[in-house]
Amino acid sequence: MLESFKKDLCAIAKRAQIDGLCKHKSGNFSIRDDQTGLLAVSPTSLNREEMSPRDIVIMDLDARVIENETGLRPTSEVLMHIEIYKARPETRAIVHTHSPYATSFAVLGKPIPAIVYEVANLGLSRGRIPVAPYARPGTPELAQYVREAAAEADCILLEKHGAVAIDDRNIYEAFLKAAYIEELAELYHHVLTAGGAEPDCFEQDELRRWEYPKQIKFAD
């Protein structure tokens, strides 16, 4: 069931570990199927080096396990994923990481502002990566906080926890957003370390103005 999604999720989960976005058994991933509404979800407590597509769990939006070929349980944080999918039905994939720079700002409860223009592609509505308030991982309370933050942005920090990236296309695009959260957090850290003061940031109105150059012409 959803075999192609299982393969994609497994590949991205391993890539996230290789790229340092999450280590060992931390972080979790999911993909939503348009046709069935079912979710492919990463399992809990499994080192990604050992993960195979058969380990990916299939669930519905009522948190019922539909298929788990190898008997593994879904990530304990799946309620957070489910609440995002319910609040934003257009969402196709979610990536949750514990990357070091992003998590450092999450520990501080400090939103990451739009310090470079590339954040125009991160699905922000207020010129920042917001912070969802702390709640214990795996609880309905955290799921609700993340759902509320997801109304503001595709990229979110979880206070004292990590980061979440949401995408309406596929899990690869969600992964790229998660990677860019970390890159932006590292840049912000370096700027604060070098200058000591908060840098100037882009206003959301400026970010909305970006468009592909009209001067570029294509042959008929």
Q: Choosing from 3, 50, 77, 203, which is the catalytic residue?
A: 77
Confidence category of residue 25, pLDDT binned at 50, 70, 90: confident
User: Model-level pTM?
Assistant: 0.96
Return the exposure string of 102-111: e unless at least 16 CB atoms fall within 10 Å of the residue's CB, then b: bbebbeeebb
77 is catalytic: yes
Q: Considering only CA atoms, which of 116, 202, 112, 182 is closest in space to residue 153? A: 112
Q: What is the pLDDT of residue 145?
A: 98
Q: What is the pLDDT of residue 70?
A: 96
**φ, ψ of residue 96 in degrees (nearest 5):** -115, 120
Confidence category of residue 81, pLDDT binned at 50, 70, 90: very high
Domains of the chain: 3-208 (3.40.225.10)
**pLDDT tens digits, residue range 26-77?**
999 999 999 999 999 999 989 888 999 999 999 999 999 999 999 999 999 9
Q: What is the pLDDT of residue 38?
A: 98
Cα–Cα distances in angstroms (integers) from residue 67 to residues 36, 41, 54, 74, 75, in the given order: 14, 10, 10, 10, 14
**pLDDT tens digits, residue range 136-173?**
999 999 999 999 999 999 999 999 999 999 999 999 99
Cα gap 96→57, rounded to integer Å = 16
